[in-house]
Amino acid sequence: MICVSIARSRMRHLMAEHKHLVDQGAALIELRLDYIAGDIQIKKLLEGRPSPVIATCRREEDGGRYRGTEEQRLQILRTAVAEGVDYVDLEEDTAALIPRFGKTKRIVSHHDFEKTPDDIADIHARLAALDADIVKIATMACTPRDNLRMLKLVQSSKVPTVGICMGEIGTPSRLLAGKFGSPFTFATFHHERTLAPGQLSFQEMTEVYHYDEIKSDTDVYAVIADPVGHSMSPLVHNAALHEQGVNGAYVPFRVPREHLAEFLNDAPQLGIRGLSVTIPHKEATIPHLDKIDRVVHDIGAANTVVMSEEGLVGYNTDARAILESIAHQMDCSYSDEQFLKGRRALILGSGGVARAVAYALTRSGASVDIAGRTPERTKQLADRFGCQAVDWAARQGVDCDILVNCTPVGMHPNVDESPYAKHRLKPSMLVFDTVYNPESTLLVKEARSQGCGIVSGLEMFVRQAAIQYNLFTGEKAPVDLMRDVLRRAIGPARIS
């Protein structure tokens, strides 16, 4: 169950949002009384309420907005209990001052906005001893392991416990709370009105993550990155899992470099069965794997990890997705290992994406030139795959059949830039832009206007995700659905 926290300065707005959320399917609402300006009319708020309610009036030192006296705040909470509120949220030092009355259930809570203390089990025991129906602990996550510590506490607690880690690192604890036995988790009314760090909106929790479908036996899949908030992977993977009725949830984990090894060790305890791996972990993950496929070995980067009987097994789905995308545009089969033989390709850029592209194109028989802004790195990449290094300033003079942009040029918000001159584009060329946000970059638009064949970064992204999905679940991915979901997400109305 999701509890949606709403906080408005005016009573009528609070009540209107309460009704709206219930109409949208919310089963539990937290009314943040500390946000109300002026007289707080508890009876009016609770009369005819459309769903069960938690009454919360948080002090400033506890992350709230209440600025009255402590006695006034306690009186507000006592009144809420007297009026029959369904739940009342009480801090540890407040619980003994608000006696149990009627059918109101007591949530005894603790907040730490700086860290997840080492002694959270002791804190939990103190809260549970204060006549708590539910214990709530919300702490700041400083490392990914804090999520595991909190969720394991929830799982082992005899008293129903809501355990949440705050901040971007702590977001997984909000999404996996139900899997580990939490009676509910928290969301906010709107993604632009978060009341705690790392909080997701009710819409995200329901429409992207399908929170109420996550059970104790749900398999967990995840994307790991730093940062991770921009990742579109949860959108496409969760849409596919939901569409096919697979009992799985795909969750974003922000994993700083220094915590990668620890996270990979902890992952099975979180129920994680597969990982999408992206910047900055594609190379750093490899030493921690038990087995890697040939592509990972040759490219030197893994973007997929599967937990199997063999341990942690690494794959790279980028190379295959690149070839599938090109073959689809050329109306041929990439299974013919030399389907690009006799063609000359120019790669713009010398980073991680360029490495996967160079590997894929050379393996398929193409003659490849690489132009990058950093001469030393460009030469290293070219030497690795038997390609020709080209000075960045000379890139326009390369006569090529296939042009692949592996730079961020053209990516939002710099959508008015292109790494290649329009007048150099020829109708006989295939132009592949690995940038997917926006899908139609300036390079793609100009290539299309010149009659070139087009492969978009969106196509590559969806195809590599589809291969991952199959590795994770054993199911054939619903590629058309994944493509549509991503296209809607990065459309003009939502480019961000």
For the residues 64-87, what does the mean pLDDT come to? 96
- 419 with 444, same domain? yes
- 326 with 312, same domain? no
pLDDT at 494 over 70: no
d(CA 173, CA 152): 10
- 310 with 325, same domain? no
Domain annotation covers residue 493: no
For the residues 296-318, what does the mean pLDDT come to? 96
Amino acid, single-letter form, for residue 475: E
d(CA 204, CA 200): 6
Cα distances from 15 to residues 29, 41, 88, 184, in angstroms, run: 11, 11, 18, 22
- 364 with 398, same domain? yes
d(CA 473, CA 194): 33
d(CA 56, CA 195): 12
Strand residue runs (E) in 354-468: 367-372, 388-391, 402-405, 430-433, 453-455
Domain annotation covers residue 32: yes
Q: At which of 154, 181, 216 does a domain end?
A: 216
Look up tokens 């496409």; give the residue. Answer: 236
d(CA 94, CA 92): 5
What CATH number is given to the structural domain containing 177? 3.20.20.70
What sign has the CA pseudo-torsion 85, 64, 11, 52? negative
Domain annotation covers residue 441: yes
pLDDT recorded at residue 195 = 72
Residue 223: which of 495, 494, 464, 476 has the closest Cα?
Answer: 464
pLDDT at 197 over 90: no
pLDDT at 380 over 70: yes
- 312 with 324, same domain? no
Domain annotation covers residue 226: no
pLDDT recorded at residue 337 = 76
φ, ψ for residue 279, nearest 5 deg: -55, 130
d(CA 88, CA 78): 9
Range of the domain at 297: 241-316+468-485
Residue 474's contacts (CB-CB under 8 Å, 6 or more residues apart) are none
Q: What proportion of the chain, given as a percentage, has pLDDT over 90?
A: 92
Work out the mean pLDDT of the chain and round it to a whole number: 95
Residue 289's contacts (CB-CB under 8 Å, 6 or more residues apart) are 302, 305, 311, 312, 313, 314
For the residues 259-272, what does the mean pLDDT come to? 97
Cβ–Cβ < 8 Å for 436, 461: yes
Q: What proportion of the chain, given as a percentage, has pLDDT over 70?
A: 98
Residue 3: which of 151, 185, 175 has the closest Cα?
Answer: 185
For residue 255, name the pLDDT band (cuts at 50, 70, 90). very high
- 309 with 339, same domain? no
d(CA 178, CA 211): 8
pLDDT at 128 over 80: yes
What sign has the CA pseudo-torsion 381, 383, 386, 390? positive
pLDDT tens column, 114-127: 999 999 999 999 99
Intra-chain end-to-end CA distance of the chain, in Å: 30
Continuous H helices in 185-293: 202-203, 233-243, 260-266
Tokens of 47: 């009369």
pLDDT recorded at residue 492 = 52
pLDDT at 196 over 90: no
Cβ–Cβ < 8 Å for 183, 160: yes
- 476 with 398, same domain? no
What CATH number is given to the structural domain containing 268? 3.40.50.10860
- 198 with 301, same domain? no
Q: Which residues are catalytic?
A: 111, 136, 282, 318
pLDDT recorded at residue 398 = 96
pLDDT tens column, 13-29: 999 999 999 999 999 99
Look up tokens 């604890």; give the residue. Answer: 173
Tokens of 421: 């001159």
Domain annotation covers residue 230: no
- 402 with 369, same domain? yes
Cβ–Cβ < 8 Å for 388, 366: no
pLDDT at 323 over 70: yes
pTM recorded for the entire structure: 0.93
d(CA 142, CA 255): 10
Helix (H), strand (E) counts: the chain: 16, 20
What sign has the CA pseudo-torsion 4, 31, 65, 10? positive
d(CA 356, CA 341): 18
- 368 with 439, same domain? yes
For the residues 435-451, what does the mean pLDDT come to? 95
pLDDT tens column, 397-437: 999 999 999 999 999 888 999 999 999 999 999 999 999 99
pLDDT recorded at residue 38 = 85
Domain annotation covers residue 210: yes
Domain annotation covers residue 389: yes
Amino acid, single-letter form, for residue 335: S
pLDDT recorded at residue 193 = 66
pLDDT at 289 over 50: yes
- 355 with 311, same domain? no
For the residues 249-270, what does the mean pLDDT come to? 97
pLDDT recorded at residue 493 = 39
DSSP strand pairing (304-308 vs 311-315):
antiparallel
- 190 with 56, same domain? yes
What CATH number is given to the structural domain containing 365? 3.40.50.720
3-state secondary structure of 297: helix
Q: What is the DSSP letter of 101?
A: -
d(CA 274, CA 104): 42
pLDDT recorded at residue 191 = 67
pLDDT tens column, 468-479: 999 999 999 999
Domain annotation covers residue 490: no
pLDDT at 496 over 90: no
Query: Considering its fold, how many domains does the chain have in total?
Result: 3
